[in-house]
Amino acid sequence: MKSFRISCLGLLLLFLCVSCSEDDPAPVDANKKVEAWKSDQAASISLIEGAAGSPDSLMVIGYKHNGKIELKVKFNGVGTYTLTESGTVRYYDLVGQDVITNSYSLDPNDKTSELTITKWNPTSKELEATFQVTLKKTASGGASGGPETLRFTGGELKGKVTQTRKEVSWVNVEAPVIKMGKLVPGVDSLRIHLTNETGQLLLLIPFTGVSKYPYHQKLTGFFYEYEGAVWTSMYEFNPEGESEVEITSWNPDTKQIKGSFRVALKKAYVYLPDKNAVHPVTSGELLNFSGGLFEGEVKPF
């Protein structure tokens, strides 16, 4: 009888242990988050022209509550695109519509990140797509406590191509003019003036040394397009594009600096020389410069 009671007690304890283990929630990793994507408005879709002048890349921007995702692929119509092989992805946590609190880029080790174009009508320019992506927080991604790894599943995007972008590799035709001063008390402002065969680009950043300076947070500027000696168009930064200056080398003793940049621009004004008038542009052309490099001596202004 005593043995029977001990056996019953053992079974009861085993049952309680199993019940507790089944009811206990799995531990939550605060550095990882999986979320089903839910769009709250139509996607913004652009075709990007290559050097030959024909569309060769597709940029799709999806929006959700307090966030947006940018997916870019070499475009060949309907099909599945493995993003780690043929695309780039950026995601931004937002407050309001333009204040970035965290930024993420594609996890290069994840082979399941895909963009699938399920419908494409080259006549009406209508496009439908699905996606799933795994992202890593960038080094300059913010400090608001977001997870280090973020995965979106079940993403659905629909929209119509509304703009065509030109993608151009930046080539300097003159030595960069780089100056530093204090436009704001207590803040070193770095001004980089660059010239290519079509115009002049001005980049302005609050300088803190070797670092990345993304648009939305630390980068401003504009581009003037010229015909001969007369400027014809002025471009501002495109808030939906990817722009960044990276300072890769800085010597405060010799004042030598080196860096790179990529900028996404949108035509904002045109100049009419015959009327000596400047007109704003409501649906501006998009222009992307990539692969830009600069180096030289920083001088005061």
Separation between Cα atoms, residue 148 and residue 91, nearest integer Å = 13
Q: Which residues of the chain have pLDDT under 50?
A: 1-22
Q: Which two tokens stand for residue 293?
A: 């490099």
Separation between Cα atoms, residue 274 and residue 222, nearest integer Å = 24
Q: Which two tokens stand for residue 182?
A: 């204090």
Domain positions in the chain are 32-165, 170-300
- Residue 58 one-letter amino acid: L
What tens digit of pLDDT does each residue of 163-216 get?
777 888 999 999 999 999 988 788 899 999 999 999 999 999 999 999 999 887
Q: Which residues of 224-243 are buried (b: 16+ CB within 10 A; e: fewer)?
A: bbeeeeebbbbbebbebbbb
Burial of residue 279, with CB atoms counted within 10 A of its CB: 0-12 exposed, 13-18 middle, 19 or more buried:
exposed
Separation between Cα atoms, residue 105 and residue 297, nearest integer Å = 32
pLDDT of residue 57: 86
pLDDT of residue 8: 45
* Nearest to 200, CA basis, from 289, 296, 104, 74: 289
Separation between Cα atoms, residue 249 and residue 257, nearest integer Å = 5
* Nearest to 233, CA basis, from 192, 278, 197: 278
- For strands 32-36 and 149-169, give the pairing: parallel
CB 195 within 8 A of CB 174: yes
DSSP 215: B
Separation between Cα atoms, residue 240 and residue 224, nearest integer Å = 20
pLDDT of residue 29: 67
pLDDT of residue 13: 44
Length of the chain measured in residues: 301
Rounded to two decimals, the pTM is 0.59
pLDDT of residue 21: 46
Q: Which two tokens stand for residue 1?
A: 């009888």
